């Protein structure tokens, strides 16, 4: 393993060093009312220090827990680093979570203070106030509509920062004292798992873990001072933390916060970041957006695009330096006639590296973006590995692989096929759950719960160990492989495979309302709701064709023989998906038990 040569400093200590060494260089840009407002490294540290004092005044002590319930914005990281500068620990909560899920995390984490984005998030906390004995104060960023709220409980972020600044002038040594005592083995962040199979668990990440992951990010992704990244995925997820706090603070790269989640594509076009992280659903949405645009363009442009994709597909995984003169000329022709416009449309023309991770993705989706010139690599990691632990390199893009181990990690595959990891990125354990910690880390090895294999020196993730299905005929199947094959279609948003102890594979399918809706308009098909669209026989015929196309690429035993089209979209509030949109299989199998049973006696799909 390669030694970590980053400074032996915690994240808050590193921020303080950056304030001294990088001073007036821009660390963060926040877009407000259409204007990108810069914050320097010195300003980042100064404001976080004021927040640290303000948090102490609320009663948040060393080792205490600050919860954050907000979309990504500068206040999120100011609060997180402010908590660190005060010796406290940040706990992220998904902004999309309903009140009961918010209360579970706050209670389990024993959060004493919570930072909320706005009135909507404050109301979730107040709805569960009686069940939150540890909570002392609520801090709110946007105060619109909050004039009547109890000032002894609710304080504005602006007020917290101002009070902290005043206290700092009276007690200037607080932050320096905390930093002098802080060590790499202190817990710096707590991230709750998605809870796809049960209650979420609080994974404790030490500053040593965060530093080790920052080293991996620099070595594998080449993140450095010249890079910029648009932060938009939830900061309570380890993937975004990796690229918004860990990597940038240790390497000096810049972070941009857009106006909101709704403006991500517009923000991408404005920022044109050098690096971009998208979970599979984001890449699927970008793929669908391109598909819709081409449907609208039609004619010559559509035919030119299709020819370009066909012409460039054979060398899509070949590094540009290794392409023949003919291949380079072919790509350049289609780049200037078609692909450049598509890269501009999705905002990734300047990206020197883009990555997908956090869940399995269809190889067809990955291949498409590589064909049009987006330098897309697959990475693999988990909350318990502080983020990325395997990654592809642009010099070798084996389809379906997740590359090689980060330089500071060891990997091995157990007899069961499970991937095991030993490294400084392996988390410190689960908060208030020693039994789960002991079951996950055994003899120094993290048991990931994922089945993996190695082919030609490249790791491939087969599926979750618990999700592997055994058919009635005794065949082992990977549901994610089948599901991602079907989701390569721009018309299919979700696919949940059924096959455990069954004679054949069936599936529950959710259409992509936007793409199918556009197709329906072109076909002159009238519809009023998602249900009326999904239940139209011509839509079913469309999906049958898409399923048949997917089946053609699968082994016979894995082919979807029958399917049921869902008449509603899967919803977090209905317990069907997690906050990160991961499918809760057990919940869906129970809810749609009658529809599933009907598949084993109804009309077969094409």
Q: For the segment 198-233, what is each residue's pLDDT rounded down to a tens digit? A: 788 999 999 999 999 999 999 999 999 999 999 999
The whole model's pTM is what?
A: 0.90
pLDDT at 262: 82
- 564 and 415 within one domain: no
Q: Is 162 part of any domain?
A: yes
Rounded CA gap, 112 and 139, in Å?
11
Same domain, residue pair 42 and 99: yes
Tell me the three state secondary structure of residue 87.
coil
| CB of 510 closer than 8 Å to CB of 566 | yes
**Which of 465, 493, 508 is the C-terminal boundary of a domain?**
465
317 and 430 share a domain? yes
Question: Does 388 share its domain with 531?
Answer: no
Cross-strand pairs, 353: 275
Looking at 438, 465, 492, the residue that finishes a domain is: 465
Local structure of residue 242 (DSSP, 8 states): I
State both tokens at 4.
């970590």
Strand pairing of 492-498 and 505-511?
antiparallel
Residues 402 and 362 in one domain: yes
Q: Which residue has the tokens 């905002």?
A: 347
Strand pairing category for 137-140 and 113-116: parallel
Tell whether 86 is covered by a domain: yes
- 478 in the same domain as 371: no
* Residue carrying structure tokens 């906390």: 125
Q: Both 440 and 410 in a single domain?
A: yes
**Residue 216: inside a domain:** no
Distances (CA, A) of 382 to 48, 110, 387, 426: 28, 24, 5, 9
Residue 123 lies in a domain: yes
Same structural domain, 498 and 563:
yes
Reduced to 3 states (helix: H, G, I; strand: E, B; else coil), residue 534 is helix
Residues 6+ apart with CB under 8 A from 40: 22, 23, 24, 25, 26, 27
Question: What are the per-10-residue average pLDDT scores of the chain (606 residues)?
Answer: 91 98 97 94 98 97 97 98 98 94 97 98 96 97 94 97 97 96 98 80 98 97 95 95 97 94 87 92 90 86 94 94 96 97 94 90 92 96 96 91 95 96 98 96 96 95 86 84 90 92 92 93 93 95 95 91 94 81 84 91 52
Cα of 390 vs its chain's centroid, Å: 16
**DSSP H or E run through 371:** helix 363-371
- 77: exposed, middle or buried (C-beta count within 10 Å: 0-12, 13-18, 19+)? buried
Together in a domain, 447 and 495: no
Give a yes or no: residue 580 inside a domain.
yes
pLDDT of residue 196: 61
Residue 359, token pair as written in the block: 């869940």
CATH of the domain at 594: 3.30.300.30
The Cα 207–Cα 427 span in angstroms is 10
- Residue 223 near residue 6 (C-beta atoms within 8 A): no
Helices (H), 391-467: 434-440
For residue 357, is it within any domain?
Answer: yes
Cα of 411 vs its chain's centroid, Å: 23
Query: Which position has the token pair 């009326």?
Result: 532
Q: Are 33 and 164 within one domain?
A: yes
- CATH code assigned at 118: 3.40.50.12780
Which tokens belong to 171? 């007690």
The dihedral built from the CA positions of residue 304, 310, 311 and 317, taken in this order, carries a sign that is positive
Question: Is residue 601 helix, strand or coil?
Answer: coil
The whole-number pLDDT of residue 486 equals: 93
DSSP-derived 3-state class of residue 376: strand
| Extended beta strands in 465-602, E state | 469-470, 476-477, 492-498, 505-511, 560-565
Look at the chain and count its residues. 606
Residue that is last in its domain, among 406, 440, 465: 465
| Tally of structural domains, the chain | 3
Strands 409-413 and 154-156: unpaired
Alpha-carbon distance 111 to 433, whole Å? 16
Element (H, E) at 344: helix 340-346
Find the Cα–Cα–Cα–Cα dihedral 340, 345, 347, 353, rounded to 10°.
Answer: -50
| Per-residue pLDDT tens digits for 282-330 | 898 899 999 988 988 878 889 999 999 999 999 999 999 999 999 999 9
Identify whether 270 is part of a domain: no
Q: Is residue 161 within 8 Å of 51, Cβ to Cβ? A: yes
d(C-alpha 114, C-alpha 102), whole Å = 11
Which residue, among 373, 376, 275, has the nearest Cα to 320 in the 3D structure? 373
Residue 115 sits in which domain range? 11-207
Q: Where are the beta strands (DSSP E) in 401-472?
A: 404-405, 409-413, 418-423, 429-430, 441-442, 445-455, 458-464, 469-470
Cβ neighbours for 500, distance < 8 A, ≥ 6 positions apart: 469, 470, 471
Same domain, 163 and 66: yes
Q: Are residues 197 and 320 in the same domain?
A: no
The Cα 38–Cα 375 span in angstroms is: 28
Going by their DSSP bridges, the two strands 445-455 and 441-442 should be labelled as: antiparallel
**Could you give the CA distance from residue 429 to residue 66 in angstroms, rounded to a whole number?**
19
In this structure, is residue 6 part of a structural domain?
no
């Amino acid at each position: 393993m390669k030694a970590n040569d980053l400074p032996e400093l915690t994240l808050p200590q590193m921020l303080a060093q950056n304030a001294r060494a990088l001073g007036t260089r821009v660390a963060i840009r926040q877009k407000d009312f259409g204007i990108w407002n810069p914050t320097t490294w010195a300003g980042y540290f100064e404001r976080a220090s004021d927040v640290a004092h303000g948090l102490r005044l609320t009663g948040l002590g060393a080792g205490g827990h600050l919860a954050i319930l907000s979309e990504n914005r500068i206040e999120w990281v100011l609060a997180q680093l402010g908590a660190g500068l005060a010796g406290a620990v940040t706990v992220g909560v998904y902004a999309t979570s309903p009140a009961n899920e918010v209360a579970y995390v706050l209670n389990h984490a024993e959060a004493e203070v919570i930072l909320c984005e706005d009135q909507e998030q404050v109301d979730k906390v107040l709805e569960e106030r009686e069940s939150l004995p540890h909570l002392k104060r609520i801090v709110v960023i946007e105060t619109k509509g909050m004039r009547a709220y109890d000032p002894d409980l609710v304080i504005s972020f602006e007020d917290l920062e101002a009070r902290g600044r005043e206290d700092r002038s009276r007690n200037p040594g607080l932050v320096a004292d905390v930093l002098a005592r802080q060590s790499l083995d202190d817990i710096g962040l707590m991230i709750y798992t998605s809870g796809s199979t049960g209650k979420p668990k609080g994974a404790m990440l030490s500053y040593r873990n965060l530093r080790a992951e920052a080293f991996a990010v620099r070595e594998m992704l080449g993140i450095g001072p010249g890079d910029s990244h648009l932060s938009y995925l939830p900061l309570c997820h380890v993937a975004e933390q990796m690229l918004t706090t860990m990597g940038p603070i240790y390497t000096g790269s810049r972070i941009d916060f857009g106006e909101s989640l709704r403006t991500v594509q517009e923000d991408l076009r404005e920022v044109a970041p050098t690096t971009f992280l998208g979970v599979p659903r984001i890449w699927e949405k970008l793929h669908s957006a391109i598909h819709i645009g081409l449907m609208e363009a039609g004619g010559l442009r559509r035919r030119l695009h299709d020819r370009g994709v066909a012409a460039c597909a054979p060398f899509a995984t070949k590094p540009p330096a290794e392409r023949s003169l003919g291949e380079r000329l072919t790509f350049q022709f289609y780049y200037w006639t078609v692909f450049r416009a598509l890269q501009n449309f999705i905002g990734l023309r300047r990206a020197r590296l883009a990555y997908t991770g956090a869940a399995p993705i269809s190889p067809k989706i990955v291949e498409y973006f590589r064909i049009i010139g987006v330098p897309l690599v697959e990475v693999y990691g988990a909350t318990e590995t502080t983020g990325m632990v395997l990654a592809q390199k642009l010099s070798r893009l084996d389809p379906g692989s997740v590359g090689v181990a980060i330089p500071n990690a060891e990997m091995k595959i157990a007899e069961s096929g499970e991937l095991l990891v030993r490294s400084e990125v392996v988390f410190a354990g689960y908060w208030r759950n020693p039994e789960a910690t002991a079951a996950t880390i055994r003899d120094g090895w993290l048991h990931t719960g994922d089945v993996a294999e190695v082919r030609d020196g490249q790791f491939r993730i087969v599926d979750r160990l618990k999700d592997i299905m055994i058919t009635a005929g005794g065949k082992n199947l990977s549901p994610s492989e089948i599901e991602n094959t079907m989701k390569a279609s721009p018309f299919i948003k979700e696919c949940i495979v059924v096959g455990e102890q069954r004679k054949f594979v069936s599936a529950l399918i959710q259409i992509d309302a936007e793409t199918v809706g556009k197709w329906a308009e072109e076909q002159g098909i009238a519809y009023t709701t998602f249900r009326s669209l999904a239940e139209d026989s011509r839509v079913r015929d469309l999906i049958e064709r898409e399923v048949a196309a997917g089946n053609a690429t699968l082994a016979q035993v894995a082919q979807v023989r029958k399917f049921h089209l869902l008449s509603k979209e899967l919803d977090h509030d209905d317990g069907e998906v997690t906050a990160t949109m991961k499918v809760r299989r057990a919940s869906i199998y129970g809810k749609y038990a009658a529809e599933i049973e009907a598949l084993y006696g109804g009309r077969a799909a094409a």
